[in-house]
Amino acid sequence: MTSPSFFDSPQGRRLAYHRTPGAGPWIVFLGGLKSDMEGTKALHLEEWARREGRAFLRFDYSGHGQSSGTFEEGAIGDWAEDTAAIVAGLTEGPIIPVGSSMGGWQALLLARRIPDRLAGLVTIAAAPDFTEDSYWAGFSEAQRQQVMAQGQVEIPSDYMEPYIVTRRMIEDGRRNLVLRAPLDLPFPVRCLQGTADTAVSTETALRLMEHATCPDMRLTFVKDADHRFSDGPCLGLIEDAIVDVLDAIK
């Protein structure tokens, strides 16, 4: 594992990243909640981009991986600030975000913030609005009372150690919802979703598809693929989705 470079954001966060120059548009990988830029998908896509001569950026949100801060301090809006800042500071021209899970939500927030810079978008098990529709909606009354009164609650995960969900994450998430207001995506969008995903449902993928306004949006279901979406065939499908977007914008 090579040592990362660091970017100091306007908010005072020190963000670890790896940047591979090449032909644009820039491919920007946006990881999931509590994931980091050393994951299988990020590393695979970086190697693919090198082979193809494509510009590629992967990074850790604050409180993730090798960046500053702790996970429990963070929230959706903080990570959206991180994403916007590092994209502005380290890329130029058109970009194609590739958002995995929570990174899919981040990609949609970025599309709302800087729509003119997005040439296209790829999502992998996108999890927009999950703090409200998964966490809060799934909490028992006791958990809701605990997170509001004590400031946090612990919930299990099928894919890693339990999550600490904070009151700030819930309240900040409500300020960043993307499925409650018009969502205009005026560029090619490719969405990938596994049917065996226990973290993000196929219903979520369909809801995003139905909600967004987009001239060229396609959703691909992969039978028996889980939330990691990281085996050989799934990685190939991610490559294909990026190439499909690139072909659509030629």
- pLDDT over threshold 80, residue 158: no
What's the per-residue H, E or C state across 62-94? CCCCCCCCCHHHCCHHHHHHHHHHHHHHHCCCC
- What are 2-35's pLDDT values in tens digits? 899 999 999 999 999 999 999 999 999 999 999 9
Query: How far, in Å, CA of 227 to CA of 93, rounded?
Result: 31
Q: Got the DSSP string for 156-175?
A: --SSSSPEEEEHHHHHHHHT
pLDDT of residue 163: 82
Quick count: other Cβ atoms within 10 Å of Cβ 246? 18
Residues 126/205, Cβ–Cβ less than 8 Å: yes
Domain 5-128+180-248: CATH class, spelled out: alpha beta
Neighbours of 214 (CB within 10 A): 17
For residue range 40-64, list pLDDT tens digits in order: 999 999 999 999 999 999 999 999 9
Q: Quick one: average pLDDT of 96-112?
A: 98
Task: Give the DSSP H or E segment for 18.
Answer: strand 14-20
Above 90 in pLDDT, residue 250? no
Burial 119-144 (b: 16+ CB within 10 A, else e): bbbbbbbbbbbbbbbbbbeebeeebe
